[in-house]
């Protein structure tokens, strides 16, 4: 059985970042990255629908150790994918990736202080066993093989094509057609302007509105500083500006929701200039940042609405018909192509079955520890980014913490580290304090969080920076075990 010091699951944004951190901070350790698909890039290789782009600025979505070099702060999917693969090649991480290696189960042995992984390899799904001292999950939080689509009545009667954006293919034609996009989240907000240029007309059908904010594709501060300061200095300044601005906006929305509502709505009114009913189509029932704000680069959705290329319908779908949609209000929407941008299917621990000495680990029965590990699960970490900011801000901190932890264990000759919940379990809170449908549907399958550190899942970069980069490794919660005679 092939053995490693560390195995990383997933070769997307988090996994590539983890590999770079390992090579830089833990030299001499053996590790490999197991990727279930035949290509790297994760989400940015999977999502190929028109207009796929970042919904965070690239100064924070890019890695801290390899600054984004292009002028645009909001990048399209292919450019992000190129950046990830270029980063992997530049740091030698691409040579560590093993493609078509799907981890189905991981079993911890306390006697041997190691994980044994059941892996299927290649298109023939050949069973392979591998082992490691530490398992680092970087597989994201949603299923790649399934998206979420509600059970629409009469969908089988529709004479056109129905497609979920997660499974977009090159043969999908929208040019000159009447397109309906169902949804109001980030995917819908991205797709609608991208399709509007060539479609006969695009109608976005939403059950309820989403809070939106327009931002310039190119950051004005970066543009102003670029000719005055070195590129790395500009990147650092703009990165911190974006971090602090994001925290300010999030806290404003949570602490002063009515003020935030008026600010957001006033910007929408100004951008639309009367081209749509703002209260009906852009004023949600929930407060700002109870769900993620949708970013509109250069206000592209507003531009297409003003031009008459896009219509908004806020209503509930009664059923599909042969020629489109019948709505609860009695109205109909004609369509040749329907795109169901209706959400993701989430899964805990990448869908991998875990057990400890033969006892199954139920994700919902564990508590988050520092946003990195889980109560009573030894030598196991998972990378889960922010829901209110760039994923990579948290990923960089998590990867750095895992490297610190591994180096601490080596210095002290420990073979096992386990965050112990103890007899007095903290009061349980949901994993994520978000009302978004795709989170709510899956909360009972995810770990819990507590009310206080280290069981609290921070949605705050500054707090995590202090806890993960500068906080103590040994904190009376994390328990360590030295090797017993005969153990490596």
Render pLDDT for 97-126 as a digit per residue (tens, 0 to 9): 999 999 999 999 999 999 999 999 999 999
- pLDDT for 143 equals 86
Q: Is residue 156 part of a domain?
A: no
Phi first, then psi, for residue 124 (nearest 5°) are: -85, 0
Total number of domains constituting the chain: 2
> Does residue 125 share a domain with residue 82?
yes
In the chain, the percentage of residues whose pLDDT exceeds 70 is 98
Of 316, 344, 372, the residue that ends a domain is 344
Q: Are residues 282 and 412 in the same domain?
A: no
- Is 151 inside a domain boundary? no
For residue 131, being part of any structural domain is answered with yes
Task: For residues 185-198, give the mean pLDDT.
Answer: 95
Examine the domain organization and report whether 40 and 18 are in the same domain. yes
The CATH code of the domain that includes 226 is 3.50.50.60
Q: How far apart are CA 344 and CA 346, in angstroms?
A: 6
Mean pLDDT of 132-139: 97
- Mean pLDDT along residues 61-75: 93
Query: Residue 401 pLDDT > 90, yes or no?
Result: yes
Indicate the pTM of the whole model: 0.94
487 within domain boundaries: no
Based on the domain organization, do 128 and 172 belong to the same domain?
no
Determine phi and psi for 266, rounding to 5 degrees.
Answer: -65, -35
User: For the residues 462-479, what does the mean pLDDT come to?
Assistant: 94
Do 246 and 320 share a domain, yes or no?
Answer: yes
Q: What is the pLDDT of the chain when averaged over all its residues?
A: 94
Of 142-146, 159-163, 238-242, 479-483, which gets the smallest average pLDDT? Answer: 142-146
Residue 150 covered by a domain:
no
Residues 438-444, mean pLDDT to the nearest whole number: 77
Mean pLDDT of 266-289: 95
Q: Does the pLDDT value for residue 424 go beyond 80? A: no
In terms of domains, do 138 and 215 share one? no
If asked whether residues 475 and 349 sit together in one domain, one would say yes
Count of other CB atoms within 10 angstroms of residue 12: 26
- Residue 23, pLDDT > 90, answer yes
Do 389 and 435 share a domain, yes or no? yes
Examine residue 301 and state whether it is found in any structural domain, yes or no: yes
- Band (pLDDT 50/70/90 cuts) for residue 197 is confident
Whether 460 maps to a domain, the answer reads: yes
Do 385 and 330 belong together in one domain?
Answer: no
Whether 425 has a pLDDT exceeding 80, the answer reads no
User: Does 439 have pLDDT greater than 60?
Assistant: yes
157 falls within a domain = no
Share of the chain above pLDDT 90, in %: 86
Higher per-residue pLDDT: 15 or 421? 15
In terms of residue numbers, what domain contains 128?
A: 2-144+345-482
**CA nearest neighbour of 22 among 36, 6, 35, 9:** 6
Domain finish residue from 289, 313, 344:
344
Same domain? For 17 and 113 the reply is yes
374 in the same domain as 402: yes
Domain end: 344, 378, 405, which one? 344
Q: Do 379 and 316 lie in a common domain?
A: no
Assign residue 343 a region (left: φ > 0; alpha: ψ between -120 and 50; beta: otherwise).
left
């Amino acid at each position: 059985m092939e053995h490693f010091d560390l195995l990383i699951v997933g070769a997307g944004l988090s996994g590539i970042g983890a590999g770079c951190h390992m090579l830089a901070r833990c030299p001499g350790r053996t590790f490999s990255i197991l990727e279930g698909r035949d290509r790297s890039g994760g989400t940015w290789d999977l999502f190929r629908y028109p207009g796929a782009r970042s919904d965070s600025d690239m100064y924070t979505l890019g890695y801290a150790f390899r600054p984004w070099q292009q002028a645009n702060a909001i990048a399209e999917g292919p450019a992000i994918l190129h950046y990830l693969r270029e980063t992997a090649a530049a740091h030698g991480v691409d040579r560590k990736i093993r493609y078509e290696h799907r981890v189905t189960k991981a079993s911890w042995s306390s006697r041997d202080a190691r994980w044994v992984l059941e892996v299927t390899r290649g298109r023939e799904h050949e069973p392979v066993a591998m082992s490691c001292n530490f398992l680092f999950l970087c597989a994201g939080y949603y299923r790649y093989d399934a998206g979420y689509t509600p059970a629409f009545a009469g969908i089988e009667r529709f004479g056109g094509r129905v497609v979920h954006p997660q499974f977009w293919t090159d043969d999908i034609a929208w040019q000159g057609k009447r397109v309906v996009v169902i949804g109001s989240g980030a995917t819908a907000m991205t797709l609608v302007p991208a399709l509007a240029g060539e479609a006969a007309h695009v109608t976005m059908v939403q059950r309820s509105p989403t809070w939106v904010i327009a931002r310039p594709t190119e950051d004005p501060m970066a543009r102003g500083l670029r000719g005055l300061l070195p590129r790395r200095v500009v990147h650092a300044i703009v990165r911190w500006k974006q971090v602090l601005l994001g925290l300010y906006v999030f806290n404003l929305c949570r602490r002063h929701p009515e003020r935030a509502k008026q600010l957001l709505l006033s910007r929408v009114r100004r951008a639309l200039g009367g081209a749509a009913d703002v209260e009906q189509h852009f004023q949600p029932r929930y407060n700002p940042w109870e769900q993620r704000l949708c970013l509109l680069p250069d206000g592209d959705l507003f531009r297409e609405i003003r031009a008459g290329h896009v219509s908004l319908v806020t209503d509930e779908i009664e059923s599909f018909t042969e020629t489109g949609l019948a709505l609860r209000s009695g109205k109909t929407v004609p369509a040749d192509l329907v795109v169901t941008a209706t959400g993701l299917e989430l899964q805990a621990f990448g869908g991998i079955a875990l057990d400890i000495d033969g006892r199954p680990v139920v994700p919902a029965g564990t508590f988050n520890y520092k946003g990195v590990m889980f109560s009573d699960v030894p030598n196991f970490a998972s990378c889960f980014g922010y829901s209110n900011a760039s994923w990579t801000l948290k990923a960089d901190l998590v990867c750095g913490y895992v490297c610190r932890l591994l180096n601490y264990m080596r210095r002290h000759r420990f073979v096992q580290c386990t965050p112990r919940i103890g007899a007095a379990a903290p009061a349980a809170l949901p994993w994520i304090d978000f009302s978004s449908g795709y989170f709510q549907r899956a909360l009972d399958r995810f770990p819990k969080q507590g009310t206080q550190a280290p069981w609290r899942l921070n949605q705050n970069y500054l707090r995590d920076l202090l806890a993960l980069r500068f906080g103590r490794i040994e904190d009376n919660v994390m328990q360590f075990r030295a090797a017993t005679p005969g153990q490596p």
